[in-house]
């Protein structure tokens, strides 16, 4: 029987999870008014949670809750115990903030190290991180996890494509952590220049930010002569490497000793039976600074309860390409269409802009393309001003969303 | 007598420095062919260094040596012991690389923590780091040092000016680590918008990257209602916080238990007596991965051997605004004029471009302004192509130098 999956271990693990959940809920209830009010509004106290399943009694947290309690309203420890503050674009005007204590950082470092190790990374590896600015927080976490394993880490830096390729080749990188968008861009760049992947020492690419289909994985592996591994993470909260593929590549193992997963029906909020596809909901089991209770990720997944051939004790999920919310994923960064419409309205100064949004390629990189219908409100300005307005709007949205934005004007719809 | 400066302590410290120097030289000689050859070419072995002063027998290292041994030729440990690899723009076509072992990282973390602590930073502080992309390595080091102190660290991220100000205010930042260029830009931005520094919780600003005169310090302190502290560092090698101001603000204390300073005549290479201004030369005393022996910094300084009123045992230097080399400092980043001319030649494809270089302000940020004389070689193209050529040249230089570059064409010189 594979290591770590015998019944006693499983019972121990379930007991550990329950104890951690109860401790998390106690701390959240005691230290965070937001959580206490939610318990009270359901006539509950943490004592009502006597089993893992009892978590279903509690209400969900949404992305918007993070912005509403900006900046520090959801922290469950005094600010002096916080040693790192990460900022991510929020769902409103205000960014969402996550905080870490020293103990939190150590746990996340270990989880990232575990996830890297599951892909075969050791102290013999040279690990290069290439993530867009919007995922800089993950870059720091991968650096910390890689260092803990003793790998030689080349931290994230905003190098151009050709410089990144130079570093990949000259530094003899064995493991690249990046997004699908960048991996594809890199591949195209190499083939256009007739460079061969054999010039590289690359053994594996770890893709983060969005689920990648088997066909795309196969194609990339064939073109780059490297194995592809997927990691799942959240940019708003604790970090990357919440789930990772093992050598069997049959779903992603969730680090469920520290993060409790549930699958719900996104329409009704009902918990779904194991094996059914639905929205992934996560509860932190050890985070001290920023506990999350039933956080709706918007990501769609299916839990796989059968033991994995690799012997890992961690439950698996199949990460699905659909979404339970209106977010688009651009270069691995989540962009809310609803929020984008709000920013667009503000930047243009008109009440109800009519537009379509899609993910496009702009000079090789992924971008948000907005097709804006030219209506009378926009025509009240002269064309010269309109051009200027489009320029400042693109800049403002690019900054607020953390991804490149380009606006195309189109005639009225038929 | 202030703590740590009695004769016995001093003798102990000198003995410690000598032992560390000898150990460094032994490792460099044994593990790095570059260093061994230099010893041999002077008919020396590490045994010839029996006192700290004997270091004068050894040749200097220059910035160019880093590029010549790209990528890993100067590492004194096997790659598997390296856990972090930092890249900085080099002096040639190739970047300069620094490496760290786990032990190196711990020492640097402690040195940064020591330097922050000397400015009064504690676990009660909220420390925000705002550095340009070219100083991203320092950003990581300040984050690590701040976390070690238990401060709440807001890591470096590429936010716009207005977002950075929002974070400063809303997150209640008490300590800002940044460059002079950014501190000035921030101040202008606030005053243009009639925001008052009393809206902020800012207690201190730590300036890095270039020496700042007393007049500028006074002016900034008055406008921002915060104390200014200066730190000295090198971007190519181990890191920031090699030297720091104490509460007396009379020079910067060099962490000379880990870095040995000398002052030389930049023209002759002769060691100068204490108190004389000259070029600062540094030797690492504990770095395992990348030992530097008599590294010429190009920075001008004067050592102050009198004990400091603060009681610190670390020797002080006055950091002077002149330079011993042709580098310009743009937003805290060193830019070689000679190297810039080489890049310019390559990008323009002409043999000997005639130009002037100066530090300018471009949309509020510091940039390298190049005034290029329009000569016949450039006129062989049509004007339309010339514009395109200027655009691609600006982009290429901006990328290679790590600072914004703008080119202005001018008529032939009289």
Q: pLDDT tens across B69-95, in order?
A: 999 999 999 999 999 999 876 666 777
Claim to verify: residue B256 and residue B366 sit in the same structural domain: no
CB contact under 8 A, A83 and B151: yes
Same domain, B200 and B267: yes
Write down the pLDDT at residue B162. 82
Indicate whether A308 pLDDT > 90: yes
Task: Lowest mean pLDDT of A155-169, A176-190, A386-400, B87-101, name the range.
Answer: B87-101
Quick one: three-class SS letters along A74-93? CCCCCHHHEEEEEEECCCCC
∠ at Cα B72 (B70, B73), nearest 5°? 75
Q: Are residues B257 and B189 in the same domain?
A: yes
A143, A353, B141, B154, B177 from B135: Cα distances, Å = 17, 41, 10, 16, 12
Cβ neighbors of B199 (< 8 A, separation 6 or more) are: B169
Residue A5 confidence (pLDDT): 43
Q: Do residues B94 and B149 share a domain?
A: yes
* Res B133 pLDDT > 50: yes
Nearest-5° Cα angle at B329, B253 to B58:
55
Q: Which of B293, B325, B357 is the last residue of a domain?
A: B325
Whether pLDDT at A3 is above 50: no
C-alpha separations of B96 from A127, A199, A263, B47, B65 in Å: 18, 21, 49, 30, 9
CB B123 within 8 A of CB B150: yes
**Coil, strand or helix: which one is A315?**
coil
B261-314 pLDDT tens trace: 999 999 999 999 999 999 999 999 999 999 999 999 999 999 999 999 999 999
- B167 SS3 class: helix
Give which of A83, A289, A343 to mutate to test B binding, by max B Cβ within 10 Å. Answer: A83
Compute the mean pLDDT over every residue in chain A, rounded to the nearest whole number.
91
B350 Cβ under 8 Å from any chain A Cβ: no
Shared domain check, B337 and B321: no
The pLDDT of B152-172, averaged and rounded, is 89
- A75, A84, A129, best to mutate vs chain B, most B CBs in 10 Å: A84
Is pLDDT larger for residue A40 or for residue A362? A40
Q: Check A87 against B140: CB less than 8 A apart.
A: no
Q: Coil, strand or helix: which one is B281? A: strand
The domain in which residue A394 lies consists of 333-410
DSSP, collapsed to helix, strand or coil, labels residue B269 as: coil
E strand or H helix that includes residue A151 = none
Residue A3 burial class via C-beta count within 10 angstroms: exposed 0-12, middle 13-18, buried 19 and up:
exposed
- Which residue, A325, A342, A363, sits at the end of a domain? A325
On whether any CB of chain B is under 8 Å from the CB of A302, the answer is: no
- Other C-beta atoms closer than 10 Å to the C-beta of B55 total 18
> What is the tens place of the pLDDT at every residue in A67-87?
899 999 999 999 999 999 998
**Beta strand pairing status for A295-304 and A316-323?**
antiparallel
pLDDT at A90: 66
Torsions phi, psi of B120, nearest 5? 95, 10
For the CA atoms of A171, A176, A182, A184, what is the dihedral angle to 10 degrees?
A: 100
- C-alpha A36/C-alpha A174 separation (Å) is 48
- Position A104 scores a pLDDT of 96
Query: What pLDDT score was predicted for residue B414?
Result: 62
Residue B324: pLDDT above 60?
Answer: yes
Flag whether residue B106 sits within 8 Å of chain A, measured between CB atoms: no
B160 pLDDT tier (thresholds 50, 70, 90): confident
Is it the case that residue A89 has pLDDT exceeding 80? no
> Is B162 exposed, middle or buried, given 0-12, 13-18 or 19+ CB atoms closer than 10 A?
exposed
pLDDT > 50? residue B3:
no
Q: Work out whether the CA dihedral A220, A221, A224, A227 comes out positive or negative.
A: positive
CA atoms within 13 A on the CB side of B156: 23
Same domain (yes/no): B306, B380: no
Question: Which of B268, B290, B325 marks a domain boundary?
Answer: B325
Are both B193 and B310 inside the same structural domain?
A: yes
Q: How far apart (Å, rounded) are the C-alpha atoms in residues A125 and A111?
A: 18
Q: For residue B91, what pLDDT is reported? A: 65
A210/A346 same-domain check: no
Whether A310 and A367 map to the same domain: the answer is no
Q: How far is B290 from chain A (nearest CA, A)?
A: 14
- Whether A362 contacts chain B with CB within 8 A: no
A147:B79 CB<8 A: no
- E strands, B238-294, in order: 243-245, 252-254, 259-264, 277-284
| Cβ contact B70–A170 (<8 Å) | yes
pLDDT classification of B411: cutoffs 50, 70, 90: confident
Q: Do A140 and B143 touch (CB under 8 A)?
A: yes
pLDDT at A400: 83
Q: Residue A111 belongs to a domain with what CATH number?
A: 3.40.50.12780
Summarize the confidence of residues A128-140 as an average pLDDT: 91
Q: How confident is the model at residue B10 (pLDDT cuts 50, 70, 90)?
A: confident
CATH number assigned to the domain comprising residue B356: 3.30.300.30
Domain count, chain B: 2
* Shared domain check, B397 and B308: no
The total of other beta-carbon atoms located within 10 Å of residue A159's CB is: 18
CB distance A403 to A339 below 8 Å: no
CA B45 – CA B29 distance, rounded (Å): 8
A88 and A215 belong to one structural domain: yes
pLDDT band at B2 (very low <50, low <70, confident <90, very high): very low
Q: How confident is the model at residue B207 (pLDDT cuts 50, 70, 90)?
A: very high
Same domain, A356 and A211: no
Residue B24 has a pLDDT of 98
Contact yes or no for A87 and B123 at CB 8 A: no
Examine the pLDDT at B8 and tell me if it is beyond 60: no
From the CA of B86, how many Å to the nearest CA of chain A? 6
């Amino acid at each position: 029987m594979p290591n770590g999956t015998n019944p006693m271990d499983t019972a121990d693990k379930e007991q550990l999870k329950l104890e951690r959940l109860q401790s998390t809920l106690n701390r959240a209830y005691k230290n965070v008014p937001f959580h206490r009010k939610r318990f009270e509004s359901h006539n509950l106290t943490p004592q009502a949670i006597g089993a893992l399943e009892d978590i279903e009694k509690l209400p969900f947290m949404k992305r918007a809750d993070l912005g509403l309690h900006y900046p520090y309203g959801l922290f469950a420890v005094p600010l002096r115990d916080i040693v790192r503050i990460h900022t991510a674009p929020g769902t409103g005007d205000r960014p969402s903030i996550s905080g870490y204590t020293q103990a939190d950082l150590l746990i996340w470092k270990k989880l990232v190290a575990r996830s890297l190790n599951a892909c075969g990374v050791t102290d013999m590896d040279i690990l290069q991180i290439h993530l867009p600015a919007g995922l800089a927080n993950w870059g720091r976490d991968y650096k910390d996890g890689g260092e803990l394993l003793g790998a030689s880490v080349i931290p994230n830096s905003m190098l151009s494509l050709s410089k990144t390729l130079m570093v990949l080749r000259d530094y003899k990188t064995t493991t690249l952590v990046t997004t699908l968008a960048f991996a594809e861009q890199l591949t195209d760049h190499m083939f256009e220049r007739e460079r061969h992947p054999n010039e590289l020492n690359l053994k594996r690419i770890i893709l983060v930010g969005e689920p990648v289909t088997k066909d795309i994985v196969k194609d990339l592996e064939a073109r780059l002569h490297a194995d592809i591994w997927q990691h799942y993470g959240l940019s708003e909260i604790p970090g990357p490497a919440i789930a990772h593929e093992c050598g069997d590549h049959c779903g992603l193992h969730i680090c469920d000793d520290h993060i409790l997963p549930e699958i719900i029906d996104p329409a009704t909020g009902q918990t779904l039976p194991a094996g059914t596809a639905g929205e992934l909901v996560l509860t932190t089991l050890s985070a001290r600074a920023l506990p999350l209770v039933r956080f709706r990720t918007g990501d769609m997944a299916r839990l796989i309860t059968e033991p994995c051939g690799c012997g890992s004790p961690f439950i698996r999920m199949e990460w699905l390409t659909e979404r339970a919310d209106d977010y688009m994923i651009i270069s691995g960064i989540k962009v809310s269409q609803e929020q984008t419409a709000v920013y667009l309205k503000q930047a243009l100064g008109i009440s109800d802009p009519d537009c379509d949004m899609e993910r496009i390629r702009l000079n090789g990189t992924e971008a948000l393309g907005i097709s804006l219908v030219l209506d009378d409100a926009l025509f009240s300005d002269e064309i010269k001003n309109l051009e200027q307005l489009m320029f400042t709007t693109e800049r403002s949205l690019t900054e607020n969303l953390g991804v490149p934005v380009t606006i195309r004007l189109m005639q009225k719809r038929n």
